[in-house]
Amino acid sequence: MTRWDEILTLPVQNPTILEFSAADITWSMVEGWKDSMDRLALIPFSRVGDFVRGESNNKACPTRFHVEARRRRSPTMTCKPKVDGILEYILYWCSFGPDDYRKGGAVRPSRSSCGKRKTPAGRPNTKRGCVCHFIVKRLIAEPSLALVIYNHNKHVDKKGTPCHGPMDKMAVGTKAMFAPYISDELLLEVMSLLYVGIPVETIMQRHTEMVEKQGGPSNRDDLLTHRYVRRLERKMRRSVYELDDDDAVSMNKWVENNQDCVFFYEDFSDNDTFVLGIQTDWQLQQMIQYGNRSLLASDSKFGTNKLKYPVHSILVFDQQKNAIPVAWIITPNFTHGEIHRWMGALYDRVRTKDPTWQLGGFIIDDPLTDMRTIRLPGVDFLMACPSRLA
């Protein structure tokens, strides 16, 4: 069997957990270049993010993976159809590499200026020469699949010695013990606190108290710094959402730059206003976890008197009955039966990640909404709830 016949007949692996790592996958050895063997697996392309997160949250060696290189075939490019044609190539590298800013470490010439700075401007020198990386290829033959090639799966440097995490003796007692960045959960929490106006000092005081109470830092999130939170606050204060004077142009630009979290977008048209549906990866995970076979609620009161266009939040509830916003819809007139325009897209997005996901019911806080427009498989009942959801 030729290499590509072998690859295309590999089983597609789709672990039924929110995020998964290399350990949850059976790897196949397929002959590659110059008699070397490649460790390969096929996963759905829609689950690449879950795999990247799973690999980052490695218990033995917490890290992050960043996109070191990416190439996309432009849709206009014509080419001869080949079995190994690639739509997209993404190289993910452990964020502790590939450069090495440790004493005596090698840095690629193009990046050497970063290491020479006298005062590393706000960015810790996290690069420690880690060689751990994997490649994701999206094939023209099977665009719904991702071919993952993982030949360097150990967090070691060029000499083969552990270079970060608990196995690295030099990292003990330093930040390199932990993941290089704080988690998305903590980032979101800090951003929300800042957004509602909690001062940086209060956030830090609360955080320090919490870390002291647990007996010192035990993961990267515990090392949150005053400087980092202050920077977030400044960034938020200075951020400009109006990218252009014309709202339509402004929104198009925003959508272009944030494609990963836009699940639905319809531009202004002659008869209709725009609808923009936003859902981050973290929100999608919460929706899968807490929304399955339970209630989803629409809260249309957020920002109605403060923002130019109101934001409608779709909420799920955790075990403690806390509401978690799992998607946002921005449209000028939500009340005029717009739900059918985006609900299917949101449903499909969740079902791509978890085909067993079912919606138990949908609570609408706006009785004017045309409920006939919501018809989805698995929706047992709908409720109109005129009072604000707490």
**Contacts with Zn ion, residue ranges (CB under 5 A):** 63, 94, 96, 130, 132, 155
C-alpha to C-alpha distance for 326 and 316, rounded to whole angstroms: 7
- Tell me how crowded residue 26 is: count the other CB atoms within 10 A of its CB: 8
The helix (run of H) or strand (run of E) holding residue 198 is none
Least separation in angstroms between CB 154 and Zn ion: 8
Least separation in angstroms between CB 293 and Zn ion: 38
Backbone angles phi, psi at 220, to 5 degrees: -65, -35
Q: How far is CA 88 from CA 135, 138, 281, in A?
A: 10, 5, 20
Helices 281-291, 184-195: inter-axial angle, 10-degree rounding: 100
Buried b (16+ CB within 10 A) or exposed e, 275-297: bbbbbbbbbbbbbbebbeeebbb
Minimum CB distance to Zn ion smaller for 42 or for 182: 182
Maximum C-alpha span of the chain: 68
Least separation in angstroms between CB 178 and Zn ion: 12
C-alpha to C-alpha distance for 389 and 371, rounded to whole angstroms: 18
Least separation in angstroms between CB 39 and Zn ion: 17
Least separation in angstroms between CB 51 and Zn ion: 16
Minimum CB distance to Zn ion smaller for 123 or for 237: 123
Q: How many helices (H) and strands (E) does the chain have?
A: 9, 13
C-alpha to C-alpha distance for 73 and 390, rounded to whole angstroms: 47
Least separation in angstroms between CB 159 and Zn ion: 14
Residue 326 near residue 285, CB atoms below 8 Å: no
Minimum CB distance to Zn ion smaller for 7 or for 163: 163
The helix (run of H) or strand (run of E) holding residue 263 is strand 262-266
Least separation in angstroms between CB 63 and Zn ion: 5
Minimum CB distance to Zn ion smaller for 53 or for 155: 155
Minimum CB distance to Zn ion smaller for 38 or for 100: 100
Least separation in angstroms between CB 179 and Zn ion: 10
C-alpha to C-alpha distance for 360 and 381, rounded to whole angstroms: 7
Minimum CB distance to Zn ion smaller for 132 or for 177: 132
Minimum CB distance to Zn ion smaller for 94 or for 288: 94
Minimum CB distance to Zn ion smaller for 92 or for 334: 92
Residues 6+ apart with CB under 8 A from 175: 124, 126, 220, 223
- Tell me how crowded residue 121 is: count the other CB atoms within 10 A of its CB: 7
Show the DSSP H helices in the chain as ranges.
3-8, 48-56, 112-116, 184-195, 200-213, 226-238, 247-257, 281-291, 339-353
Least separation in angstroms between CB 133 and Zn ion: 9
Minimum CB distance to Zn ion smaller for 61 or for 296: 61
